[in-house]
Amino acid sequence: MSSLKPFYMNRELSWLEFNQRVLDEAADGTVPLVERLKFLAITASNLDEFFMVRVGSLLGSIRAGKSTPDPSEMSPLEQLRDVRKRTRRMSEDQYRIYLSEIEPELDAAGIRHRLPEQLSNEQREFLTQIFSEQLEAILTPVAVHDPNRFPLLMGRTLNVAVQLRNDSDDAPWRFAVIPFGRFAQRVITLPSDGGYEFILTEEVVGMFAARFFPGQTIAAAAPFRITRNADMAVSEDDGADLLEEMVDVLEDRKDSFVTRLEVAENVTEPLQQFLRSLLKIGDNETCLCPGPIGLSDLHELAEYSGREELTYPEWKPCDPPEFDASESVFETIRSGDRLLHHPYESFDPMLRLLSEAADDRDVVAIKQTLYRTSRSSPIVKSLIRAAENGKNVTVIVELKARFDEARNIGWAKQLEYSGAHVIYGVRGLKTHAKCCIVVRREPHGFQRYCHFGTGNYNEQTARFYTDLSLLTCNRDLGNDAIAWFNAVTGASQVQQFSHLESAPIGLREKLLQMIRVETERARNGDRAQILLKLNSLADPEMIQALCEASQAGVKVSLNIRGICCLKPGVPGHSENIRIVSIIDRFLEHARILYFHHGGDERVFISSADWMPRNLDRRVELLIPLLDPSCRKRALSILRTAFQDTIRGRELTTDGCYSPPQHRNAVPKPGQKRRIRCQQEFQQQALRNVESASTVSRTTFTPVQPSQVLP
């Protein structure tokens, strides 16, 4: 493969540009105020994970002496240098937006942050009681005599460092830490005469810190927070029990090296030096914060606001009209393939499929993959009930789903206890595919009902992630799904499928073949087009193939929400490639692929992004949409996403994103109507419901004699 540098952007820097686009929503005055606060908290949470995983990986590579450059020809040390520079600028932007824009506007709207010196006598008395009855009993100060023997501090939790004055001026300072641990309450509501007033828990601890150290003088106190490396992989080569290995990984994360220290900017120099010594870090890992530590916790404040006019108008998921509540979900799927668009359409048909299957006497088996689920998952509960009802239930629970490992371990144990057969993923790979198969005994034989999705089996995230669900009983897809599932669970060689493709076996080759077909057609002067909607694009081989297609004249349009390492518009490489990204109230998560294929259009949905990990180190699925109506609908969704002029941003050759037009601008005479695609999809879902309701009101349904009660 030739050098990719002219058209390949570093992955870490590309991800940071994605987080900047989210931060731009927090800075946009046309976005409702509390939603801006949420976007700000999301960027902080995203940055936490970036420091845990990506910065942790770079530091690990440097410590191991690795210097191999990435496809953009940057070494790990060069990447870390640029990442630090970019994250510092992003942190400065976050605090500028919060302190100079969002917080003053919250105050004007009656949501007021009160500092200790601004409290009324009533509020001080209230906090004295809160501290005495709650905080003093829960929190425990720990004196630090030897930094090497200090109790473990948890990552992403709040702490207050305390500098204690000695009796003589020449004696060394003494230090202590008040760790909050798992104490989660960050916002304390204050009594007030009007509006909503609050104070942060660490500010209350600072007010009463002296009560933790009677007889001692506090010279200074500062809240701080650490982020630890989480880039750890389970060793699967020694035959050890995978569940036990994952438990060990979770334990190892608790005391892994620190990748970032966030501390209040008014921290004294002695206190700052103490923390660096305690955590074994330097200046480069230290971030001085002019506002609240851990901006991700501002989600809690957003929940307290209670002001509808400060949030987006509610968009409730519509019940898909084709799934009649009075009709069995099996009957609905038998009548034809169904493609659902979440969260505009409810995830309930999938929940109904499993709930009905659990109790249906004719269902004999359920096969399911689980990557991420909710805390009280109705899907897992249905699987447990199905197993207890005597169904043959087999579940692939991916224990290596990052940051959901503990939850998945818990569900796996419950499923096993109920009698389900649980597979702990696949050795050496992550099972990221989204597939559910219900096998039902029917008059003509065993029928396979399948669900394929682009998103997780999580009814909570299905309310704010945009995803697609295909519900089908197509015989060929059902047979493929059974063969695929059995190959995964049986560790057997995957046979040739009729329609499906799976990573890491044939998916990469299938995608490259589809791109090459378009490339050859363009070279022959035929029409050629590729439309892709993905979350991330970073795989060098796929990027090279897309650039070769562009050079041949293929019109390539990419809708990439997050990481995009391909630079469009580079002369001689990517002139025919257009790349857009949409950041809006819902997280764009669906993967849709379209290839013109000489007019015999091919449309797919997939669980896989185009990253090396997805194509080479994960079990993924590519599902063709065989039903013409499903294919037409997916293509309409895909094309609409490229027409977004309100929330869409276009990637430029220099790796930056051009902002959309002003969101309140009125189209000039002759201009096309401005489009916000998520709003279009919501309105379309509402129109579908209304249309079905109208048909129902104007259609006469005769009652057959067998339906009349005797």
Looking at residue 145, its pLDDT comes to 83
Looking at residue 610, its pLDDT comes to 98
637 closest CA partner among 531, 528, 526, 542: 531
pLDDT average, residue stretch 205-211 = 94
Task: Give the model's confidence band at 428: pLDDT under 50 very low, under 70 low, under 90 confident, else very high.
Answer: confident
**Which letter, b or e, does each residue of 368-382 get, where b requires 16 or more Cβ atoms within 10 Å of its Cβ?**
bbbbbbbeebbbbbb
Q: 691 is written with which tokens?
A: 């249309």
Q: 458 is written with which tokens?
A: 């999580």
Looking at residue 619, its pLDDT comes to 94
Q: pLDDT tens digit string along 369-419?
A: 999 898 899 999 999 999 999 999 999 998 876 777 888 888 889 999 999
Query: Residue 87 corresponds to which amino acid?
Result: T
Judge whether residue 466 has pLDDT over 80: yes
Residue 386, SS3? helix
Residue 39: CB atoms within 10 Å = 24
Domains of the chain: 5-310 (3.30.1840.10), 329-498 (3.30.870.10), 503-661+672-691 (3.30.870.10)
Percent of the chain clearing pLDDT 70 (strictly above): 90
What order do you get walking across the sheet with 286-289 strand by strand?
Answer: 142-144, 174-179, 158-165, 217-228, 258-264, 286-289
Q: What is the mean pLDDT of the chain?
A: 90
Q: pLDDT tens digit string along 324-346?
A: 988 999 999 999 999 999 999 99
Which tops the pLDDT comparison, 352 or 409? 352
pLDDT average, residue stretch 555-579 = 96
Give yes or no for a cis peptide into 343 (omega within 30° of 0).
yes
Q: Considering the entire predicted model, what is its pTM?
A: 0.92
Judge whether residue 249 has pLDDT over 80: no
Dihedral over Cα of 61, 67, 73, 78: its sign: positive
Q: pLDDT tens digit string along 116-162?
A: 999 999 999 999 999 999 999 999 999 998 877 787 899 999 999 99
Residue 576, SS3? coil
Nearest-5° Cα angle at 75, 569 to 277: 130
DSSP 660: P
Catalytic residue annotation: 432
The pair phi, psi for residue 86, each rounded to 5°, is -70, -40
Task: Give the model's confidence band at 238: pLDDT under 50 very low, under 70 low, under 90 confident, else very high.
Answer: very low
- Look at the block and give the residue holding tokens 């990719």: 4
Q: 94 is written with which tokens?
A: 């976050």
| Distance of alpha carbon 606 from alpha carbon 590, whole angstroms | 8
Task: Give the model's confidence band at 703: pLDDT under 50 very low, under 70 low, under 90 confident, else very high.
Answer: low
| Distance of alpha carbon 24 from alpha carbon 40, whole angstroms | 9
| Distance of alpha carbon 601 from alpha carbon 566, whole angstroms | 25
Residue 447 contacts by C-beta under 8 Å, 6 or more apart in sequence? 334, 439, 440, 441, 473, 478
pLDDT average, residue stretch 500-528 = 96
- Look at the block and give the residue holding tokens 């798992």: 182
383 closest CA partner among 407, 408, 362, 366: 366
Contact call for residues 180 and 157 (beta carbons, < 8 A): yes
